[in-house]
Structure 1
Amino acid sequence: MINGRFLRFAKVGAAGFVVDILVFSILVYGFGFPTMLSRVLSFIVAATTTWLGNRLYTFKVTSDRFGQWKRFFLSACISMLPNLLVFKGILLFLGENPITHVIAFVCGVASGLVSNYVLSSRWVFR
């Protein structure tokens, strides 16, 4: 059975996913930024969004704001590695278009979910 904290983490992650793909789409399709640069920038915005959501909603921690943000960002960067590798790998295999961007996005985010939760629950928001 999945615990309540993981469900809250998943809800915050879903909101972060929406922010992530929205920022990515605006950068790629609205401003013509390169795909991987857009992916990294959107990840940074989404990571900050999910840090705030996890801080206030999932783990309900109010102390050590800056130290916590640094730990979260480091753990997000660790989790970003499989995310970006899967994203780029799928695009290399399928090519780039709006549909493959979404497929690569979903698969990439899913690949980083477990490590992000473990690092968040055991290190960032302990």
Structure 2
Amino acid sequence: MINGRFLRFVKVGATGFVVDILVFSILVYWFGLPTMLSRVLSFIVAATTTWLGNRLYTFKSTSERFGQWKRFFLSACISMLPNLMVFKGILLLLGENPISLVIAFVCGVATGLVSNYMLSSHWMFR
């Protein structure tokens, strides 16, 4: 059975996903930035968004903000590594086009979900 905190984590993550893909799309399609640079920049914005959501909604944390954000960002960066590896691997297999970008994006994000939850619940917001 899935606990309520995990469901709240997933809701915050869904919000972060929307922020992530919107920022990524804007950077790639409107500003013409390189794909991997856009992916890293959108990840930073989304990670900050999810930290705030998890702090206020999922874990209802009252600990010191900046130190907690640094720990959250470190754990997000650890989870970002498999995310980016899957993203880049799929693009190498399928080539870069709008459909493969979405497939790679979704698969990469899904890869980081479990490790991000484990790090958040056992280290970040314990």
Structure 2-normalised TM-score? 0.99
Deviation at 1:62, TM superposition (A): 1.7
Percent identity at matched positions? Answer: 89
Distance 2:53 2:98 in 1: 28
Superposition pairs of residues 35-114 of structure 1, within 5 angstroms: 35-114=35-114
Distance 1:14 1:90 in 2: 22
Distance 2:20 2:101 in 1: 12
| Structure 1 segments (4+ residues) deviating >2 Å | none
Matched residue type, 1:25: S
Distance 1:99 1:22 in 2: 15
* 1:123 to 2:123 alignment: yes
**Structure 1 unaligned residues grouped into runs of 5+:** none
Distance 1:32 1:67 in 2: 34
Cα RMSD of the aligned pairs, angstroms, is: 0.4
Deviation at 1:38, TM superposition (A): 0.1
Distance 2:16 2:124 in 1: 17
Structure 1-normalised TM-score? 0.99
Deviation at 1:63, TM superposition (A): 1.8
Distance 1:125 1:63 in 2: 8
Matched residue type, 1:43: F
Distance 1:74 1:118 in 2: 13
User: Structure 1 residues 112-121 or 59-68, which shifts more?
Assistant: 59-68
